[in-house]
């Protein structure tokens, strides 16, 4: 059945999928078609069950089909699907976030993380009157043209080149790309071009190209340099926001960015994005200010209501600490399995995120330049071994794993046994 569905898909959709990583090309097999999910479990079209450590790439901090969120969504569908007007649902979610998050004085909802980043960059340029944006190798900010860039031949000077066909050098040219975590390169760039830079954008917890936690001193340097040169600091917290802590990495690092982008968790599993930040900056957005942004389905009522229930439930006393501690305990158990089975796997844990990097057990990895050259080759048998045991993770060696509140102690105990068998097979 799976092969038949994929054959049909390839006739009507590029590559048979609606996002590249879903194609399973990196792991050399036909993608699995899933039809149902509950808690920490995925069920495919052939009736096979998997413990899900992808969780739709992070939004499902409560797990699939949390009963409280499901009830709210069913009620919401009974009231309205979309309005295209002012509404009380986005107001409630906006008020809740502004009240809870120190970095947010104003917020605008959109439909995706990419759209949030696109809007935040335009706003930064409009507010500062400058054109250049600084980003870092190893940070992913969606498929905005100006962010689909990589370091060019002039890395020390921040020059960039397109990393995708269809992105012109003109579009890429105003994006300056630096090595992740390199304070010297950052300082040198601001000394030479600081008066042209509108903003720095960074994932304060890079988690889209491996899991690469940054030193707090590096984030502090970003804050000091933007302040000294009149640029804005944008935290891309599409993944980390409301995931590692209620206030995301802004809270954990004790750094208040000028702007922050959100997605994933704030929609409770429904399409959503947002950009937010300091009032004087956000008030440059239309209709209050001269920077245009709009969206037909922005602040969709179903996403707003699902998001508010999700955030309120995730923010209950002790819930973040409990999830993060359970993740750390699970990571410790996995590390012991790696040692006992003699598996060449590096494990990185931060909050409720995990990254397993086969072929890199004794390597220090803090930036993409440190990745093992054969990472994807090693990942393929590793992924297939886990899949055969009923463990689902994203089909790419560069993607991270997510735990949710649905990953109970019992579920994780079952998962550990599956990981043990997969590790033994992988290390043979």
Which one of the listed residues 52, 137, 174, 236 is annotated catalytic?
236
Whether residues 172 and 290 share a domain: the answer is yes
pLDDT for res 159 = 56
CA distances for 234 relative to 60, 128, 281, angstroms = 24, 13, 12
Q: Mind listing the pLDDT tens digit for each residue in 250-274?
A: 999 999 999 999 999 999 999 999 9
- 140 is known as an active-site residue: yes
Torsion 188-167-374-366 (CA) sign: positive
CB 344 within 8 A of CB 358: yes
- Give the range of the structural domain holding residue 376, as residue numbers without chain letter: 2-65+317-427
In the chain, the percentage of residues whose pLDDT exceeds 90 is: 89
In the chain, the percentage of residues whose pLDDT exceeds 70 is: 97
Which one of the listed residues 140, 262, 392, 398 is annotated catalytic?
140
pLDDT for res 157 = 47
In this prediction the pTM is: 0.95
Average pLDDT for 378-386? 95
Domain end among 268, 296, 314: 314
Distance CA 15, CA 26 (A): 13
Whether residues 110 and 208 share a domain: the answer is yes
pLDDT for res 160 = 63
Q: Mind listing the pLDDT tens digit for each residue in 232-254?
A: 999 999 999 999 999 999 999 99
DSSP state of 64: B
Whether residues 249 and 101 share a domain: the answer is yes
Average pLDDT for 14-32? 94
Whether residues 344 and 271 share a domain: the answer is no
- 236 is known as an active-site residue: yes
Whether residues 147 and 290 share a domain: the answer is yes
What ranges in 29-136 are assigned the alpha helix state H? 67-79, 88-100, 113-128
Average pLDDT for 29-33? 96
Q: Mind listing the pLDDT tens digit for each residue in 71-94?
A: 999 999 999 999 999 999 999 999
Whether residues 273 and 323 share a domain: the answer is no
Please enumerate in sequence order all residues whose Cβ is within 8 A of that of 325, keeping only pairs 6 or more positions apart, or say none: none
Q: Mind listing the pLDDT tens digit for each residue in 182-229?
A: 999 999 999 999 999 999 999 999 999 999 999 999 999 999 999 999
Whether residues 167 and 268 share a domain: the answer is yes
Whether residues 109 and 22 share a domain: the answer is no
Half-sphere CA count of 415, side-chain side, radius 13 A: 22
Domain end among 314, 330, 361: 314
Q: How confident is the prediction for the chain on average, in pLDDT?
A: 94
DSSP state of 141: -
pLDDT for res 169 = 81
Whether residues 239 and 361 share a domain: the answer is no
Q: Mind listing the pLDDT tens digit for each residue in 104-115?
A: 999 999 999 999
- 370 is known as an active-site residue: no
Whether residues 199 and 304 share a domain: the answer is yes
CATH number at residue 48: 3.90.1150.10
- Report the domain count for the chain: 2
pLDDT for res 31 = 96
Whether residues 55 and 156 share a domain: the answer is no
Which one of the listed residues 132, 135, 264, 346 is annotated catalytic?
264
Domain end among 263, 296, 314: 314
Q: Mind listing the pLDDT tens digit for each residue in 115-173?
A: 999 999 999 999 999 999 999 999 999 998 888 887 654 444 455 666 788 787 877 78
């Amino acid at each position: 059945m799976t092969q038949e569905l994929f054959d049909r898909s390839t006739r009507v959709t590029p590559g048979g999928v609606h996002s590249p990583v879903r194609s399973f090309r990196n792991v050399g097999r036909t993608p699995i078609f899933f039809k149902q999910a509950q808690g920490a479990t995925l069920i495919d079209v052939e009736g096979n069950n998997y413990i899900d450590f992808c969780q739709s790439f992070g939004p499902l901090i409560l797990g699939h089909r949390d009963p409280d969120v499901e009830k709210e969504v069913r009620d919401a569908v009974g009231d309205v699907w979309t309005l295209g007007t002012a509404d009380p649902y986005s107001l409630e979610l906006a008020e809740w976030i502004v009240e809870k998050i120190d970095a947010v004085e104003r917020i605008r909802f959109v439909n995706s993380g990419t759209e949030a980043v696109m809007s935040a960059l335009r706003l930064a340029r409009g507010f500062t009157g400058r054109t250049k944006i600084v980003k870092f190798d190893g940070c992913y900010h969606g498929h905005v043209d100006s962010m689909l860039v990589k370091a060019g031949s002039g890395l020390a000077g921040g020059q960039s080149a397109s990393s995708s066909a269809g992105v012109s050098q003109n579009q890429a040219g105003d994006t300056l790309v630096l090595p992740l975590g390199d304070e010297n390169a950052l300082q040198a760039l601001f000394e030479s071009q600081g008066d042209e830079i509108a903003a720095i954008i960074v994932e304060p917890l890079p988690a889209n190209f491996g899991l690469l936690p940054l030193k707090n001193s590096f984030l502090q340097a970003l804050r000091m340099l933007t302040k000294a040169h009149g640029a804005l600091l944008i935290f891309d917290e599409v993944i980390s926001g409301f995931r590692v802590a209620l206030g995301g990495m802004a809270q954990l690092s004790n750094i208040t960015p000028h702007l922050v982008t959100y997605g994933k968790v704030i929609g409770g599993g429904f399409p959503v994005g947002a950009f937010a930040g300091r009032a004087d900056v956000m008030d440059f957005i239309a209709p209050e200010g001269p920077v245009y942004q709009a969206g037909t389905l922005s602040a969709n009522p179903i996403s707003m209501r699902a998001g508010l229930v999700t955030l309120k439930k995730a923010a209950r006393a002790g819930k973040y600490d409990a999830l993060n501690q359970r993740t750390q305990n699970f990571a410790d158990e996995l590390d012991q399995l790696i040692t006992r089975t003699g598996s060449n796997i590096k494990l990185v844990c931060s909050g409720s995120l995990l990254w397993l990097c086969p072929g890199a057990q004794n390597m220090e990895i803090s930036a993409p330049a440190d990745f093992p050259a054969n990472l994807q080759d090693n990942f393929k048998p590793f992924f297939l071994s886990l899949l055969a045991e009923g463990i689902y993770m994203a089909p790419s060696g560069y993607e991270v794993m997510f735990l949710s509140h649905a990953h109970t102690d019992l579920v994780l105990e079952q998962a550990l046994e599956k990981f043990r068998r997969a590790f033994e097979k992988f290390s043979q």
